[in-house]
Structure 1
């Protein structure tokens, strides 16, 4: 399913759903961050996705990280809360989702690199290499918040 991101775009379609989601900044012992290249938009992103009924947001981040990258993780903290109503995702099936996501800080505890049906590549990147990667603004903000040690203001 294709996806298009709109952020602060006056031509963006109006949201018709709000779905809780979680992502993770996974950092290894060498200080590298785990990223995946998404199938739906070809951009590099943090692992993450939609929370399921009966699941907590931290459990969602753990599950999504394993499903999308092959790594088991332990949650260490929260990078930030991201709820910009001017940021929506438009999907081919007509859903236009408003962003509502908690981004967690995590460390790997096991597993190995593997792609999923949602990713074409998975890799570990030094923070200095992340700026050169194609990435949507909302994901880059999460990575920058982690790198800068900034807890974003709640809106």
Structure 2
């Protein structure tokens, strides 16, 4: 049994503080997003840390589980917390998540299109993102968009 399942047995659906780790995977001016199976939203790969796990290891593990990709160098992108990290799931479980986000442009492997957690994976241009971004992740996805240099229009 994992940590969250253990805690849920003790506290039921009450809010739980979690630490999530995610990776912005870049390919030029594009970002890899996954279409979640549990909701009709797009997000970056990532998930919750396990007890004793390093944040970098959690980000790599979750990315590989969800995408099939092995991540190369990780660059720290940011830490996100606050009310925007609140989620209430269909089960009734509530969480406040602190998100530690990395980015990379080095990866290898065969991209999985479907997994238990995702319907599809697509690289989106920063100017053509889907409308239904995960509300808990749109902050750092849009921060990534604004950091990128704007294209030169001729």
The normalised TM-score by structure 2 is 0.78
Determine helix, strand or coil for the equivalent of 1:145.
helix
Q: Answer yes or no: is the 8 Å Cα contact 1:47–1:69 preserved in 2.
A: yes
Q: List gaps (5 residues or longer) in structure 1.
A: 1-13, 151-155
Q: CA deviation at 1:87?
A: 3.6
Q: Answer yes or no: is the 8 Å Cα contact 1:58–1:75 preserved in 2.
A: no
Q: State how many pairs are aligned.
A: 135
Q: CA deviation at 1:55?
A: 1.4
Determine helix, strand or coil for the equivalent of 1:128.
coil
Match of 2:105 in 1: 107
Match of 2:7 in 1: none
Match of 1:7 in 2: none
Rg (Cα) greater in structure:
2
Q: List gaps (5 residues or longer) in structure 2.
A: 1-12, 149-154
Q: Answer yes or no: is the 8 Å Cα contact 1:21–1:50 preserved in 2.
A: yes
Q: Answer yes or no: is the 8 Å Cα contact 1:18–1:99 preserved in 2.
A: yes
Say what the alpha-carbon RMSD is for the aligned residues.
Answer: 2.0
Query: Aligned in 2, Cα 1:92/1:23: closer, same or farther, shift over 3 Å?
Result: same
The structure that is helix-richer by fraction is 2
Q: CA deviation at 1:15?
A: 5.5
The normalised TM-score by structure 1 is 0.78
1:23-38 correspondence to structure 2 within 5 Å = 23-28=22-27, 30-38=28-36
Determine helix, strand or coil for the equivalent of 1:146.
helix
Q: How far apart, CA to CA, are the structure 2 residues paired with 1:26 and 1:87?
A: 21
Q: Deviations over 1:91-122 (max 9, x none)?
A: 23332000211111122321122121000011
Q: How far apart, CA to CA, are the structure 2 residues paired with 1:98 and 1:120?
A: 25
Q: Answer yes or no: is the 8 Å Cα contact 1:113–1:123 preserved in 2.
A: no
